[in-house]
């Protein structure tokens, strides 16, 4: 529920739910489950622009994930997806939301490479996130390259969530809005993703 609240930009509610889930189950839940609740809390704090709280929750998630690695199969199977590569990919998004492109790129370098074709939407979203980070770092060339790759992938997927990430990417293009290649990119987004920009 905290993740759904976060995706709908109810950041305060997402923080409350994630903290509530953590506090209520801290003595019963497996470390990886607790780590994931801290990750969602970190993401919600980042959306709310609270860098200190986001960093603290992310550090707690990483520490709990370290405990999970030593738990020797005592973790429920449904949480297997949450590993250090996933933490790193989400941390890149956290620091994108906080406007810290250097930290975002550092975390992204630790995230696993995702091959197109598998988890197509996730790959396109991640490309849009990292492209946005490059734009925050004033690297238009790399940003547009990743933005175009994201559109290549997301044009084959119907996902409102994915389009939100492309909207965030487009918003980061504002400083270059008159450049021909930015105009071309926005035209491409309009035609291939049927999005208003």
pLDDT digits (tens, 9 = 90+) for 98-145: 999 999 999 999 887 765 555 688 899 999 999 999 999 999 999 999
| Burial class for 123, CB neighbours closer than 10 Å (0-12, 13-18, 19+) | buried
Position 151 scores a pLDDT of 96
Distance CA 124, CA 168 (A): 13
pTM of the model: 0.90
Instruction: Render pLDDT for 36-91 as a digit per residue (tens, 0 to 9).
Output: 999 999 999 999 999 999 999 999 999 999 998 776 667 888 998 899 989 999 99
CA distance readout (Å), 114 to 28, 61, 117: 33, 22, 9
């Amino acid at each position: 529920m905290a993740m759904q609240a976060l995706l709908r930009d109810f950041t305060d509610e997402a923080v409350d739910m994630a903290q509530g889930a953590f506090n209520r189950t801290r003595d019963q839940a497996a470390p990886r489950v607790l780590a994931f609740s801290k990750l969602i809390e970190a993401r919600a704090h980042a959306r709310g622009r609270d860098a200190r709280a986001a960093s603290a929750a992310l550090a707690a998630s990483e520490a709990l994930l370290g405990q999970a690695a030593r738990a020797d199969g005592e973790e429920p199977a449904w949480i297997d997806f949450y590993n250090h590569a996933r933490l790193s990919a989400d941390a890149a998004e956290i620091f994108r939301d906080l406007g810290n492109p250097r930290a975002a790129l550092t975390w992204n370098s630790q995230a696993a490479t995702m091959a197109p074709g598998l988890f197509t939407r996730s790959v396109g979203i991640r490309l849009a996130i990292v492209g946005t980070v490059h734009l925050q770092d004033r690297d238009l060339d790399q940003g547009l390259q990743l933005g175009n790759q994201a559109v290549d992938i997301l044009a084959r997927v119907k996902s409102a969530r994915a389009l939100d990430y492309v909207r965030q990417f487009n918003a980061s293009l504002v400083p270059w809005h008159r450049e021909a290649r930015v105009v071309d990119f926005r035209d491409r987004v309009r035609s291939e993703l049927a999005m208003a920009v």
